[in-house]
């Protein structure tokens, strides 16, 4: 049997790294499984997002977090992590959780507790990033499977490179993606052959969520006017691009303008302040743009969505304000490993 790998992710100054390491050793001994322990320092916010870091210390076995409730979270960042076992709060996961992961079992999920801080280090003073609400989680769960059928995880590095190249405002050739990713043209060809929704003109890509073709969703980045396929795209792209962007559209119910100023951290400003987004509760991987994009739109208010939605479709649309929509979009990008 091959050796397992335990990764302990932390930031400098975390007072609980020794406790987490000791519990990892206890778990190895208790489970009678061969395992190596690696300490991985997370250096900054960008690194935290890239590593999907939920706080210090985080313990993973073969890449999977040992905390049974970790899958519910998308609040990645430099923060102090508190573990709830249902009985008490602790600064590191119990050795039983680590042992369960070493034995390919899942520990019993604790009852959730309110967010709390240790008060033990500088990161404790930072406000915790929000978790997805149950409402947003249900929307995300409905979307992830069809999206993964269209954008397989193994294509994520190429897709991120593609988004960033398209943001420059010109069609993108496979050879350019090979250069930016360090791969070969053949590898790029193989990866993008798995993504059936790409829009090509003369052998170059002009659209993939971000597009050079005009749509109802104008997207301005660094002075360049581009477009997105749907409203949700316009909210996750600032996260991937790491740039503040301006989004403008018109409400299909009222005809009025909806304008957003979106940073990688959230919606900075919305006009009108009541702006909302409609999100389909189902999507078909066979025609993602028809089944999802045509219904994911910006509105001046939640009431406007209700006036616009056809009777048969009203029950299949969720309505969220644009700040919630940003959290949903960020979670989608995270699930696809784009951010």
- pLDDT of 307: 84
Q: Average pLDDT, whole number, for the chain?
A: 85
CA distance 146 to 166: 24
Does residue 129 have a pLDDT over 50? no
What topology does CATH give the domain 134-335?
A: Beta-Lactamase (3.30.450)
Place of tokens 């769960």: 141
Question: Model pTM?
Answer: 0.63
Does residue 193 have a pLDDT over 80? yes
CB neighbour list of residue 332: distance below 8 Å, 6 or more residues apart = 140, 143, 144, 147, 232, 236
CB neighbour list of residue 112: distance below 8 Å, 6 or more residues apart = 69, 84
CB neighbour list of residue 250: distance below 8 Å, 6 or more residues apart = 216, 256, 257, 258
At 250-303, the pLDDT tens digits run 999 999 999 999 999 999 999 999 999 998 777 676 777 777 888 899 999 988
Q: Are 37 and 24 in contact (CB under 8 A)?
A: yes
Architecture of the domain whose range is 4-125: 3-Layer(aba) Sandwich (3.40)
CB neighbour list of residue 273: distance below 8 Å, 6 or more residues apart = none
CA distance 177 to 173: 7
- pLDDT of 335: 84
Q: Domain segments of the chain: what residues?
A: 4-125, 134-335
Active site residues: 230, 233, 293
- pLDDT of 51: 82
Round to the nearest angstrom and report the end-to-end CA distance of the chain: 33
Q: What is the mean pLDDT of residues 114-122?
A: 49
- pLDDT of 128: 45
Q: What is the mean pLDDT of residues 140-150?
A: 81
């Amino acid at each position: 049997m091959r050796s397992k790998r335990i990764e302990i992710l932390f930031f400098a100054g975390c007072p609980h790294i020794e406790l987490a390491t000791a519990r990892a050793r206890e778990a190895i001994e208790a489970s009678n499984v061969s395992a190596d322990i690696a300490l991985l320092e997370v250096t900054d916010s960008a690194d935290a997002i890239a590593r999907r870091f939920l706080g210090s210390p985080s313990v993973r076995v073969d890449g999977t977090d040992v905390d049974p409730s970790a899958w519910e979270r998308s609040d990645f960042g430099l923060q102090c992590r508190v573990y709830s076992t249902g009985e008490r709060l602790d600064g590191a996961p119990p050795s039983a959780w680590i042992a369960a992961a070493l034995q390919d079992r899942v520990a019993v999920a604790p009852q959730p507790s309110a967010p709390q801080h240790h008060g033990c280090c500088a990161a404790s003073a930072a406000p915790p990033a929000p978790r997805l609400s149950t409402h947003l989680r249900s929307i995300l769960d409905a979307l992830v499977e069809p999206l993964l059928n269209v954008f397989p995880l193994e294509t994520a590095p190429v897709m991120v490179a593609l988004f960033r190249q398209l943001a420059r405002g010109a069609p993108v050739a496979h050879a350019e993606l090979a250069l930016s990713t360090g791969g070969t043209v053949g590898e790029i060809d193989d990866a993008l052959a798995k993504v059936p929704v790409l829009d090509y003109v003369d052998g170059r890509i002009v659209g993939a969520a971000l597009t050079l073709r005009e749509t109802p969703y104008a997207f301005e980045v660094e002075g360049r006017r581009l477009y997105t396929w749907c409203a949700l795209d316009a909210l996750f792209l600032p996260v991937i691009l790491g740039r503040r962007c301006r989004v403008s559209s018109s409400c299909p119910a009222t005809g009025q303008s909806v304008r957003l100023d979106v940073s990688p951290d959230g919606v900075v400003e919305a006009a009108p302040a009541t702006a909302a987004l409609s999100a389909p509760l189902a999507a078909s991987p066979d025609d993602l743009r028809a089944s999802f994009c045509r219904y994911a739109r910006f509105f001046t208010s939640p009431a406007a969505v209700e006036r616009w939605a056809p009777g048969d479709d009203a029950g299949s649309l969720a309505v969220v304000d644009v700040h919630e929509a940003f959290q949903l979009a960020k979670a989608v990008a995270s699930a696809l490993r784009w951010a």
